[in-house]
Amino acid sequence: MAHPREGWRGHGVPRVRSAEGSGALHASPPAGAGRRAFLTGSAALAAAGLLAGCASDIAGTGTLPLPRPRHPVTWPAFAGNAAIKPGRSPEQHATLQVYTWEAYINQDVVNAFAKKFKCKVQITTFNTMNEALSKLRSGLSYDVLVGATVDVLGQLIEGKLVQPLNHGYLPNIANAWPDFINPFYDQGWQYTVPYTIYTTGLTWRKDKVHENPSAMASPWAMPWQPKYRGRVAILDDYREGISLGLLKNGVHDLNTTDYRQIGAARKALEDLTGMVNLKISSTEYTQVPAGETWISTAWSGDMAAAASYMPKGVDVSVVGYWFPADGRGPVANDTNVILSSATSPVLAHEFLNFFLDLDNVLNNISWNGYMQPLTGVTPKVLIDQQILPPSLTSTVVTPAYFRRGVSELQLPVDADALWQQAWLVVSNGI
Amino acid sequence: MTAKKATAPRFWIALAVPGMIWLLVLFIVPVYAVLAIAMGKLDQMLEAPVAVWSPLDWSSSNVIDVWRDIFGSASFAGPILARTIAYTAIAALVCLLIGYPCAYFVARFAGRRKGLFLVLLIAPFWISYMMRMLAWIDLLATGGYVNKALGWLGIGPVNWLGGHSVTVVFGLVYGYIPYLIMVLFAGLDRIDGSLLEAGRDLGLGRVRTFIHVTLPLSRQPILTGLLITVLPMLGDYYTNQMLSGAAHTSMIGNLIQGQLGTPGLEGQGAVLSLLLLLVLLIPMVYYVIATNREAASR
């Protein structure tokens, strides 16, 4: 009889604490005053619902491994969810259903794919990964998920929402950086191919703010300046938000499960809120070029496209983007996967392969700004092809960043609850 | 004759069936689904809510968590609730102060141009709420027309979009005032002119006629108008998100939106949504009682 763990070869770090405790995690504060102190901190934190949940309120059992660079994961193969057989032809006159983030794929490239394979491509968008997961779990059927984040791969794979890849249909993987041919989050790239890569850094208007983070002793503390009150923003994302607090405090473990570090990061952000009347928004890639916001955290891919948002008569060179020169900053990548509900799986493989072709990738980057990890995508190529302005070369992601950088990866459930609760307090101005 | 009498009520009941089906499918069922999530469980592995449909299996943990969030010693939703009530009350008052004279003018003095004014009042509804708020972002920007106009008076520039309560309240007023004006206009337009003439004939001046005749007769339209504007304001999150985005101006709608978008906290978001629904029922019930009382007094 088949078993859900049939073929399981994974290791990694368990996502859910066992009854005995894993020993490696220290998300929950020590019993008694410690935990209370975290919950009631200076601004009074909500009782952590997830932490408080008793056993009868929890449905489902089992664990998901937590991929880490030092604990790579080989995902299992499940009976009844095998990769497609080799040698098949793409489905004829089919409509490929693509599910992706809003504004995350160049329609011109999609149209070129449709023309080449004589098919139709229907794109449906989502706004959050949580929304996408909910809809996929509810049974909505698509062929390809473009932009799956690394932190939800466990849920997608263990939930049997994605199918294993047949590598024979994906020869263009040879164009990708070697790091992504055997990534720690999916050893042997059984289920994923890389899509976009990006860093999280600081963006600022050079004509309004005269400090340069490169010259500052503590660049991540740049937003903590009361003279820029009303002009400072951070990304509206609980991981990015709390991570900024951690980095400002000198903590580079962006997957920390230490309640003291998370509490200190929350406190730093609360201070920032009071100091500058902090704006929490994910549209600062338009507001910084517009001059409404002067300092903000931002994703490199958004800022690479800053030229598109500049007001008339203002040169893009007034927009700066900083990421640590030594690469020790938040770096991430998204992936493309084929859903197990795919009705055109061969075409879906061809689609993934199409988006690993250099010309198509450059065309895609020229529209959405987000780099893809192909060896042919270099700063020189991006500047020569006028995809990237020379003043924003700092938005370019290099392979070294994925070796020295720090990634925000999936957290154990109880630590995730601490992060979320800390962010709820910060983002609601309590 | 008897058969005809028996058929008549059935006919009228049959007319209500489409409305009842509508109510069942688009209100009762969705609310029960929210209730099933609120009283449901959490799939810890997937950090996803699990709806529990049978009341016998319901869990109270989400309700207890939200109760502690609002009233517990570590309350964190309490200040957000207070802020929401304050913003809504101020915005509703400003709406009334601006909307009443406007509706009064159209009802009493617009004459043949009443139709034109009504069209102008309805015009904002032709554009989506989101587009109107996006337009205000451009208008209120540092280099926008509002600051340019203030510049001519030697004021500013004002950083309207820097996360200020006044901008949020302004957004709420702008977004919802047409609803209030339309309701007030409908009520004021129906006031019998002979009552006002009677007041004047009895020696009342313009102001005293207004205070003793018009104002009492417009109490019901004011109540209806305020109800129609206050209810959506209390649940609004978009205005705040677009015109402020600052943590210090967050309203209960923003908190609910944040919880519903956070893996593992959807259950608490569902409880808060239902609590908001219960709170909104209070003015609705008061409205029904006040309307019945007024009808009985006629």
CB atoms within 10 A of CB A402: 21
Tell me which residue in A54, A56, A231 faces B162 most closely, judged by beta carbons: A231
The answer for residues whose C-beta is within 8 angstroms of residue A383's C-beta and 6 or more apart is A389, A390, A393
Helix %, strand %, coil % of chain A (to 5): 40, 15, 45
Angle at A19 between CA A16 and CA A22, to 5 degrees: 60
Q: Would you call B163 and A230 a contact, using CB atoms and an 8 Å cutoff? A: yes
Query: Which of A 296-325 lie inside 8 A of B, CB atoms?
Result: 311
CB contact under 8 A, A56 and B76: no
Q: Which residues of B fall within a CB distance of 8 Å from A63? A: 45
User: What mean pLDDT value characterizes chain B?
Assistant: 88
Q: What percent of chain A has pLDDT over 70?
A: 85
Residue B74: what pLDDT? 67
Q: Outline where chain B has alpha helix (H).
A: 2-23, 29-38, 61-71, 78-109, 114-122, 129-140, 145-152, 165-189, 193-201, 206-209, 215-217, 219-235, 238-243, 252-260, 266-297
Q: What is the pTM of this model?
A: 0.80
Instruction: Give yes or no for residue A63 having a pLDDT over 90.
Output: no
CA B228 to chain centre: 5
Give the fold, CATH level 3, of A200-330+407-427.
D-Maltodextrin-Binding Protein; domain 2 (3.40.190)
Q: What is the pLDDT of residues B140-191, one digit of tens each?
A: 988 889 999 999 998 878 889 888 999 999 999 999 999 999 999 999 998 8
Judge if A95-197+331-403 and A200-330+407-427 fold alike in CATH terms.
yes
Chain A with chain B: Cβ pairs closer than 8 A = 159
Tell me the backbone φ, ψ of residue B67, rounded to 5 degrees: -60, -45
Residue of A nearest to B263 (CA): A130
Nearest to residue B129, comparing CAs of B238, B217, B261, B204?
B238
Per-residue pLDDT, A267: 96
Would you say the C-alpha torsion A218, A220, A224, A227 has a positive or negative sign? positive
Of the two residues B68 and A22, the one the predictor is more confident about is B68
Question: In this model, does residue A275 exceed pLDDT 90?
Answer: yes
CB-CB neighbors (< 8 A) of A236 in chain B: 245
Contact A292 B142 (CB under 8 A): yes
List the single residue in A with minimal CA-CA distance to B250. Answer: A428
Amino acid at B200: R
Disruptive mutation site among B43, B47, B168, B240 for chain A (greatest number of A CBs within 10 Å):
B47
A221 has a chain B CB within 8 A of its CB: no
As beta bridge partners, residue A101 has A126
Query: Which chain A residue shows the shortest CA-CA distance from B243?
Result: A279
* A157 lies within 8 A of chain B by CB: no
**A121 to chain B nearest CA, in Å?**
28
pLDDT over 80 (residue A27): no
pLDDT digits (tens, 9 = 90+) for B87-122: 999 999 999 999 999 999 999 888 889 889 988 888
Q: Is the dihedral of CA B288, B291, B294, B298 positive or negative?
A: negative
Which residues have C-beta within 8 Å of that of residue B296, sequence separation ≥ 6? none
- Domain at A95-197+331-403, CATH homologous superfamily: Periplasmic binding protein-like II (3.40.190.10)
Distance CA A382, CA A387 (A): 5
Closest partner residue to A278 among B161, B241, B247, by Cβ?
B247
What is the side-by-side order of every strand in the sheet holding B41-43? A58-59, B41-43, B48-50
Question: Could B250 and A60 be called an inter-chain contact, meaning their C-beta atoms sit closer than 8 Å?
Answer: no
In this prediction, residue A196 has a pLDDT band, given cuts at 50, 70 and 90, of: very high
| In chain B, where the domains are located | 18-59, 72-297
On whether the CB atoms of residues B74 and B68 are closer than 8 A, the answer is yes
Domain boundaries, chain A: 95-197+331-403, 200-330+407-427
- Contact assignment for A49 to B268 by CB distance below 8 Å: yes
State the fold for domain B72-297: MetI-like fold (1.10.3720)
Nearest CA in chain B to A132: B261
Q: Which of A187, A164, A156, A162 is nearest to A69 (CA)?
A: A187
Average pLDDT over residues B38-54: 85
Residue A113's pLDDT band (cuts 50, 70, 90)? very high
Tokens of A169: 């249909």
To the nearest whole percent, how much of chain A has pLDDT over 90? 64
Written as six digits, the tokens of A365 are: 């980057």
Per-residue confidence (pLDDT) for residue A411, from 0 to 100 = 87
> Are B77 and A426 an interchain contact pair (Cβ–Cβ within 8 Å)?
no
Q: List, in sequence order, the alpha helices (H) in A123-279.
A: 129-137, 153-158, 238-248, 259-276
